[in-house]
């Protein structure tokens, strides 16, 4: 039945990874702003154009 112990360790470590990912994402501020990020990915970046960088 030692296989169950192995499975337990595996499942808890996977869950712990998710917990770590959650804490990391909160710390990085991924939940701070719910409006901007979903829109940001929709903005198309124009191909680099030399005239755009001079002012």
The one among 6, 40, 41, 50 contacting other proteins by CB under 8 A: 40
CB 46 within 8 A of CB 52: yes
Q: How many CA atoms lie within 13 A of 37 on its CB side?
A: 6
CB of 1 to other proteins, least distance (A): 6
3-state secondary structure of 35: coil
28 binding other proteins? (CB under 8 A):
no
* Binding region for other proteins (CB under 8 A): 1, 4-5, 8, 11-12, 15-16, 18-19, 22-23, 26-27, 32-36, 39-40, 43-44, 46, 49, 51-55
């Amino acid at each position: 039945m030692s296989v169950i112990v192995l499975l337990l360790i595996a499942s808890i470590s996977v869950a712990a990874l998710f917990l770590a990912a959650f804490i990391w994402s909160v710390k990085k501020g991924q939940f701070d702003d719910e409006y901007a990020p979903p829109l940001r990915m929709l903005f198309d970046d124009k191909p680099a154009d030399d005239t755009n960088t001079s002012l």
